Structure 1
Amino acid sequence: MKKIGFLSFGHWSPTHGSQVKTAGDVLTQSIELAVAAEELGLDGAYFRVHHFARQLGSPFPLLAAVGARTSKIEIGTGVIDMRYENPFYMAEDAGAADLIAGGRLQLGISRGSPEQVIDGWKYFGYRPAEGETPADMARRHTEAFLDLLEGKGFAEPNPRPMFPNPPGLLRLEPHSEGLRDRIWWGAGSNATAVWAARLGMHLQSSTLKDDETGEPFHVQQADQLRAYKAAWKEAGHAHAPRTSVSRSIFALTNDTDRKYFGRGGKESDQVGFIEQQRSIFGRGYADEPDRLIEQLKGDEAIAEADTLLLTVPNMLGVDYNVHVIDTILKEIAPALGWR
């Protein structure tokens, strides 16, 4: 058995052919897709966060709204860029969204990726400390956030408060018990995957990864997952680790599928440079169901992970994405032992 969710990048554009013209459209359609996915039996609804872009930029109102409209599906992010985040405010927002959802939040965070603007975090009021890189700052914000989610008191109470206080030092409220054990780290390298394991975070392996060995993407990604699991075991955490990979997977079953995805072009890995780092980008999958099943059998990272996130083309609208998800659940997942 494998948990299967969708991952939406939340694009919107007023261009011809887009079913998602405005920011309002992408927010309401994201909620509708999560509701429909739960009805289909999907396990998770995940959303990418990008700032200064026509995409989803403020995750917590959306996560809370999805939580209020659903009852079973996991709700998460993949991922929130911690260079932009105030750990204190984020802990309050995350606690509130998780309580609304009844403890279903699976919050993916990371050091971030290249954005639409240069050093966008500086406009949010953040600067790396002396000797820090922006990635170091993201990890510092992360460790502070994880500490706050423990729910321990740290603030000195006012001796003459407006309302009665519980005894001792005060913590941030609302606190959601158990959320600390449902934080995921989006890792692009083996080293950061091991770092996440030591801190007790689950692992979201990125669709682009540092090219550390020159091997195919899925092989390097599977090795990363295995290194993470070994580090988790060595750390001795009480709860079990989880790992996820994301893939663009389309079963071509009708003329619309073939029109959108039948032309090929992404059947192999791609290599490029991001911030002077040689990186490898994973391939996509689009084919007739029988051939698609055979291709997916050879993906080592999908086999190694316990959770698969299906990257959906959200600008094609809710109805088409429901069809994409339903086809995977009915025609692909059972043949591969995912269901």
Structure 2
Amino acid sequence: MKKIGFLSFGHWSPQSRTRSAADALLETIDLAQAAEQLGADGAYVRVHHFARQLASPFPLLAAIGARTKRIEIGTAVIDMRYENPLYMAEDAGAADLIAGGRLQLGISRGSPEQVIDGWRYFGYQPAEGESDADMGRRHAEVLLDLLRGQGFAQPNPRPMFPNPPGLLRLEPYSEGLRDRIWWGAGSNATAQWAAKLGMNLQSSTLKNDETGEPFHVQQAAQIRAYREAWKEAGHTRTPRVSVSRSIFPLVDDRDRAYFGREGQQQDQIGYLDEQTRAIFGRSYAAEPDALIEQLKADEAIAEADTLLLTIPNQLGVDYNAHVIEAILTHIAPALGWR
């Protein structure tokens, strides 16, 4: 059994069916409702700054939480280099309470940006001897500490309103959110670091090319390394692991027109920066019987408990709901995911 959700980047452009930021936001809410009605398990959004994509997740997550009842809502991922962990803890707590404890918050050190060192415009700068990636991980560790709900701030002896006894914590506090934080790991080492800190693991469609093997083989090895590190850390709960994939069953003429000639049927190699060689996972687009056989060979999907379907949100809510329904109906049962 797998949890299956969608992952939206929230692109918009005047040339697509999603023409504005308002369209991208409102259509994401509508798609989350549709996905819940279809029986999907999750509605996740990507966060990119300085781009015509989704960027401020918490108002959107709160709105989805208010309009749905069952589906998980989350991010994959928030770039922690840009975040004030204290303000973020308050926003996340509020969104989780509105959603009734359904928030699954994916965070990371970020990905290639639209601008040079964009986090500097947000007022953040690495400490002496620290890289921007180190800064992102430091922000993440502060957030994790805050989400434990322990008091740390000295109360005013003459407050405007009465305080509870002892040091004060941030409010609103949402019980259990600390266990629903995920780390988007690009390497085996950061996956192991996340395990030691008790975060769940998100692994996307790209990672550092550490062995030269096919993407899904490297990603499966990353997941196994993460689980071994989790076991060694002595955590008592069972961790969760998600992978994301672009999967399109060709079940009607629209599918064949959009994806019947899908070009990325094999892994791609590129560079995230001058030093970091990365491998990008393939997309899947085929008739259902052929698609089932292709997905059976994906070792990382087999290892994960959660699958996030990256969707072409620019094609509109109805078409993306159709893609989700096709996967739930034609693909998931045959693979034992349902």
TM-score w.r.t. structure 1 length? 0.99
Q: Which residue of 1 aligns with 2:335?
A: 336
Secondary structure class of the residue paired with 2:162: coil
Q: Which residue of 2 aligns with 1:5?
A: 5
Deviations 1:254-296 (A, max 9, x none): 1110110001311100001111201000000000000000000
Deviations 1:177-223 (A, max 9, x none): 00000000000000000000000000001211100000000000000
Distance in 2 separating the partners of 1:267 and 1:206:
17
Q: Which residue of 1 aligns with 2:284?
A: 285
Deviations 1:67-104 (A, max 9, x none): 00001000000000000000000000000000000000
Q: 4+ runs of 1 displaced by more than 6 Å?
A: none
Aligned ranges 1:218-229 → 2 under 5 Å: 218-229=216-227
Deviations 1:16-70 (A, max 9, x none): xx11000000000000000000000000000000000000000000000000000
Distance in 1 separating the partners of 2:68 and 2:58:
15
Distance in 2 separating the partners of 1:24 and 1:267:
33
Q: Which residue of 2 aligns with 1:190?
A: 188
Structure 2 residue corresponding to 1:60, chosen from 58, 66, 69: 58
Report how far residue 175 of structure 1 moved: 0.3
Distance in 2 separating the partners of 1:164 and 1:288:
64
* Pairwise CA RMSD: 0.5
Secondary structure class of the residue paired with 1:239: coil
Q: Which residue of 1 aligns with 2:254?
A: 256
Structure 2, gaps ≥5 residues long: none
Q: Which AA in structure 2 matches 1:12?
A: W
- Contact 2:47–2:55 (Cα < 8 Å) also in 1: yes
Q: Which residue of 2 aligns with 1:320?
A: 319
Distance in 2 separating the partners of 1:338 and 1:140:
36
Secondary structure class of the residue paired with 2:113: coil
Structure 1, gaps ≥5 residues long: none
Aligned ranges 1:134-283 → 2 under 5 Å: 134-275=132-273, 276-283=275-282
Secondary structure class of the residue paired with 2:159: coil
Q: Which AA in structure 2 matches 1:337?
A: G
Secondary structure class of the residue paired with 1:79: strand
Distance in 1 separating the partners of 2:88 and 2:80:
10
Distance in 1 separating the partners of 2:262 and 2:52:
26
Aligned ranges 1:114-129 → 2 under 5 Å: 114-129=112-127
Secondary structure class of the residue paired with 2:257: helix
Q: Which residue of 2 aligns with 1:14?
A: 14
Deviations 1:309-339 (A, max 9, x none): 0001000000000000000000000000000
- Contact 2:204–2:245 (Cα < 8 Å) also in 1: no
Secondary structure class of the residue paired with 1:158: coil
The aligned length equals 337
Structure 1 residue corresponding to 2:77, chosen from 35, 59, 79: 79
Q: Which AA in structure 2 matches 1:9?
A: F
Distance in 2 separating the partners of 1:142 and 1:285:
33
- Contact 2:46–2:76 (Cα < 8 Å) also in 1: yes
Distance in 2 separating the partners of 1:82 and 1:56:
15
Distance in 2 separating the partners of 1:311 and 1:264:
15
